[in-house]
Structure 1
Amino acid sequence: MKKSEKAAELFKKGFNCSQAIIGAFCEDYGIKMQTGLKIASGLGSGVRSAEICGAVSGAVLVIGLKYGSDNTDSKTLCNTKTEEFIKMFREINGSIVCRDILGCDITTPHGKEKALAEQYFTTVCLDMVVSAAQILEDLYY
């Protein structure tokens, strides 16, 4: 199963966008699925603020698992890979900001109502999860 398919499956089961991304990749880096899901649990819906898309946040966690460093001297590779991912995601999806991607601010009652009525959480958000996972697959796998 491709990582993008696994991420979509996790999202459809009810995990948030960030959890779906890290859940699809974390075991490749020795992180138990349960731990990965916990780590990413607060990042959905743009860190609950409609800021950076949770799928992007989850992807950055995955990039950290793959390219991150445990010392302060070698951050360059992870930073470069993160910037590369962000650029690609933005080119494909137009933005990395949740409220821009959705076209509404889900932190407001009106915005959340619109997102629910238009089913953005099960359509647009699913598309962002698949996109983020595919970019990770294309760039780093």
Structure 2
Amino acid sequence: MNRMEETKALRARTDVHYNCCQSVLVPFCRECGLTEEEAYKLGAHFGMGMKHASTCGAVTSALMVLGMAGRGNEAALELLSQFRSKNQALDCAKLLALAKERGEERKPHCDRMVYDAVEMLEELLAEQA
């Protein structure tokens, strides 16, 4: 199973909730030197924009992975730029407001944010390996 498939499987689970941060962090846990359980615990309080509609949890975890993978400031800024360009914002509150304007329900919207972050992260890690 590749990372995107693993991410989609996590987002589809109904027995355990994986927030946006955990949904990105868990598939990349090995690159971070973490077990799945440690990654799950680490990301627990970064969902919903750190629980106060700040930076999207998918973005936060992607930055964590880049840091743990030894990638520098350039990779982090590129990730932020790509995510903002594609989604018009980085913060959870604004992203959810934009989704509401489009008539997009929360779960599909958040799934899309997670998938975007995973895709961008995979590309950045491959480019700078």
Same fold (TM over 0.5): yes
Equivalent runs, 1:98-137 vs 2, <5 Å: 98-103=92-97, 120-137=105-122
Indicate conservation of the 8 Å contact 1:22/1:59, yes or no: yes
Q: In the alignment, is residue 51 of structure 1 matched against residue 54 of structure 2?
A: yes
The CA RMSD measured in Å over matched residues stands at 1.8
Equivalent runs, 1:24-39 vs 2, <5 Å: 24-39=27-42
Indicate conservation of the 8 Å contact 2:31/2:68, yes or no: no
User: Deviations 1:51-94 (Å, cap 9, x if unpaired)?
Assistant: 10010011111111101xxxxxxxxx522211111001111111
How far apart, CA to CA, are the structure 1 residues paired with 2:67 and 2:87? Answer: 22
**SS of aligned partner of 2:106:** coil
**Runs of at least 5 residues in structure 1 that lack an aligned partner in the other structure:** 68-76, 105-114
TM-score normalised to structure 2 length: 0.84
Query: How far is the alpha carbon of 1:119 from its aligned partner?
Result: 7.2
How far apart, CA to CA, are the structure 2 residues paired with 1:8 and 1:96? Answer: 21
Equivalent runs, 1:58-97 vs 2, <5 Å: 58-67=61-70, 78-97=72-91
Return the match for 2:20 from 17, 22, 30: 17
Indicate conservation of the 8 Å contact 1:4/1:131, yes or no: no
Equivalent pairs, count: 120
Indicate conservation of the 8 Å contact 2:31/2:65, yes or no: no
Q: Choose 1 or 2 for highest CA Rg.
A: 1
**SS of aligned partner of 1:103:** helix
TM-score normalised to structure 1 length: 0.78
How far apart, CA to CA, are the structure 2 residues paired with 1:61 and 1:120? Answer: 27
Q: Percent identity?
A: 28
Identify the residue that residue 139 of structure 1 maps to in structure 2.
124
How far apart, CA to CA, are the structure 2 residues paired with 1:125 and 1:9? Answer: 14
